[in-house]
């Protein structure tokens, strides 16, 4: 196999700047109003033709990732294989993970988005952004945003995404903690704690702060309605949030359904100080400085 036969896609993790969660509907889903930001923590998906579908996963937390048909990357391939004529009966998929598994940063969704893009390229399907988005939405609420990247408003189940005008760069510190949190378990606890749900309107103040490039104002508007439920299941996360604030973060939130905690910092120097302080904190298995926004899933061309 020549390297030119390999399609390589890089796809970012997300942080929810706002995650506004309405009441559970009869179909089990919750209406959402969310603001996503893509940050420079990437998984990579490599794809090349094969006689059947093979999946190989390397990197962070791979023991917790299913390698069968339930893997979101395999599901993305299966969805397109059922709808289009592809040049080979299968593909070899290699996922190089850096996004923490079950960490509230949508790593599985990112891999699904990357696979859609890789198959589109390899098979020459010529799908436009809207066609890709509609397949992505079938695979999961966070998959369309992983294609889009940047900063975006997500409505519906989070799958209707629209770019948000924003200025500037955000410096974040991520604190990864032991174990994952199951997204359905966190939503289940949310339903018990807040049976009527919350209002799903993303705060106007956040949209204004993004447009103005005002990071301090933005920090004061961060909102995660799942945080209370995540902290109820993982009370140890409160200590991590407190430690980040003490170290000078403008604000700290649980990322999505957790348990990753994300700290927004005034600038790079502040982020260095916050990350140095968090490294010493018990219960944290990794600390990473990232920035956003960054683009969504992208094909990496070796000689580009
Ligand atoms: P989200 O923020 O979208 O709720 P998450 O970041 O908390 O998700 P993921 O890393 O996306 O969590 O994984 C959630 C679960 O999905 C994992 O526990 C794993 O069993 C399953 N999964 C399926 N495919 C993948 C994949 N490619 N990478 C990671 N997890 C996957």
What pLDDT, in 10s, does the model give residues 133-188? Answer: 999 999 999 999 999 999 999 999 999 999 999 999 999 999 999 888 999 999 99
Q: Which atom of ligand 1 is nearest to the CA of 72?
A: 24
**Residues pairing with 96 in the sheet:** 44, 58
Distance between CA atoms of residues 283 and 260, nearest Å: 11
Distance between CA atoms of residues 233 and 4, nearest Å: 47
Q: What pLDDT is attached to residue 102?
A: 83
241 neighbors 278 (Cβ within 8 angstroms): no
Residues acting as catalytic residues: 14, 142
Answer yes or no: is pLDDT of 106 > 80: yes
- When pLDDT is cut at 50, 70 and 90, the band that residue 303 belongs to is low
49 neighbors 61 (Cβ within 8 angstroms): no
The span from the first CA to the last CA of the chain, in angstroms, equals: 21
Task: Report whether residue 110 contacts ligand 1, using a CB cutoff of 6 Å.
Answer: no
Q: What are phi and psi of 184, to 5 degrees?
A: -60, -35
Distance between CA atoms of residues 144 and 66, nearest Å: 21
Tell whether 102 is in a known binding site: yes
- When pLDDT is cut at 50, 70 and 90, the band that residue 4 belongs to is low
Tell whether 149 is in a known binding site: no
Q: Which helix H or strand E contains 224, and what residues bound it? A: strand 223-224
Task: Report whether residue 257 contacts ligand 1, using a CB cutoff of 6 Å.
Answer: yes
The angle subtended at Cα 111 by Cα 223 and Cα 35, nearest 5°, is 20
Q: What pLDDT is attached to residue 302?
A: 75
In this structure, what DSSP letter does residue 63 have? Answer: G
Give me the sign of the Cα torsion angle 107, 135, 89, 118: negative
Name the token pair of 52.
Answer: 């059947």
Tell whether 25 is in a known binding site: no
| Minimal-distance CA residue to ligand 1 atom 17 | 102
Please choose, from the candidates 289, 250, 288, the residue with its C-alpha nearest in 3D space to the C-alpha of residue 266: 250
Q: Which atom of ligand 1 is nearest to the CA of 183?
A: 4
**Cβ neighbours around 128 below 10 Å, total:** 8
Distance between CA atoms of residues 5 and 16, nearest Å: 36
Q: What's the CATH fold of domain 3-164?
A: Ribosomal Protein S5; domain 2 (3.30.230)
The count of residues in the chain is 304
User: What percentage of the chain has pLDDT greater than the value 90?
Assistant: 91
Decide: helix, strand or coil at residue 136: helix
User: Which residue has 């400085």 as its token pair?
Assistant: 289
Task: Report whether residue 144 contacts ligand 1, using a CB cutoff of 6 Å.
Answer: no
- When pLDDT is cut at 50, 70 and 90, the band that residue 304 belongs to is very low
Q: Which atom of ligand 1 is nearest to the CA of 97?
A: 28
Which residues belong to CATH 3.30.70.890 in the chain?
A: 170-292
179 neighbors 44 (Cβ within 8 angstroms): no
Task: Report whether residue 123 contacts ligand 1, using a CB cutoff of 6 Å.
Answer: no
**In the predicted model, what is the mean pLDDT of residues 228-241?**
97
Tell whether 262 is in a known binding site: no
Please choose, from the candidates 109, 115, 103, the residue with its C-alpha nearest in 3D space to the C-alpha of residue 61: 103
ipTM computed for the complex: 0.93
State in Å: Cα 109 to ligand 1 middle.
Answer: 7
Q: Which atom of ligand 1 is nearest to the CA of 102?
A: 12
| Minimal-distance CA residue to ligand 1 atom 9 | 102
Mean pLDDT value across the chain:
95
Decide: helix, strand or coil at residue 69: coil
pTM of the model: 0.95
Task: Report whether residue 101 contacts ligand 1, using a CB cutoff of 6 Å.
Answer: yes
Q: What are phi and psi of 263, to 5 degrees?
A: -120, 125
| Minimal-distance CA residue to ligand 1 atom 31 | 108
In this structure, what DSSP letter does residue 149 have? Answer: B
Tell whether 197 is in a known binding site: no
142 neighbors 228 (Cβ within 8 angstroms): no
What is the assigned CATH class of domain 170-292? alpha beta
Which residues belong to CATH 3.30.230.10 in the chain?
A: 3-164
């Amino acid at each position: 196999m020549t390297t030119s036969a390999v399609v390589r896609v890089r796809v970012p993790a997300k942080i929810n700047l706002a995650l506004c969660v309405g009441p559970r509907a009869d179909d089990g889903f919750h209406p959402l109003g969310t603001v996503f930001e893509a940050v420079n923590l990437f998984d990579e998906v490599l794809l090349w033709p094969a006689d059947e579908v093979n999946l190989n996963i390397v990197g962070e937390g791979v023991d917790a990732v299913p390698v069968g048909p339930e893997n979101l990357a395999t599901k993305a391939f299966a969805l397109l294989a059922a709808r289009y004529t592809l040049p080979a009966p299968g593909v070899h998929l290699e996922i190089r993970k850096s996004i923490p598994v079950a960490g509230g940063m949508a790593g599985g969704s990112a891999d699904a988005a990357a696979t859609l893009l890789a198959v589109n390229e390899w098979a020459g399907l010529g799908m436009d952004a809207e066609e890709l988005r509609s397949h992505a939405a079938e695979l999961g609420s966070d998959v369309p945003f992983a294609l889009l990247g940047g900063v975006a408003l997500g409505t519906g189940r989070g799958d209707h995404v629209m770019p948000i005008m924003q200025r500037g760069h955000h410096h974040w510190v991520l604190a990864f903690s032991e174990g994952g949190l199951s997204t359905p378990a966190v939503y289940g606890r949310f339903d018990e704690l807040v049976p009527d749900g919350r209002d799903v309107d993303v705060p106007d103040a956040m949209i204004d702060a993004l447009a103005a490039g005002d990071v301090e104002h933005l920090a004061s508007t961060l909102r995660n309605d799942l945080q209370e439920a995540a902290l109820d299941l993982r009370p140890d996360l409160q200590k991590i949030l407190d430690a980040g604030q003490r170290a000078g973060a403008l604000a700290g939130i649980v990322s999505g359904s957790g348990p990753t905690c994300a700290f927004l910092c005034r600038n790079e120097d502040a982020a260095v100080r916050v990350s140095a302080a968090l490294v010493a904190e018990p219960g944290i298995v990794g600390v990473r400085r990232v920035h956003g926004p960054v683009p969504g899933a992208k094909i990496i061309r070796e000689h580009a």
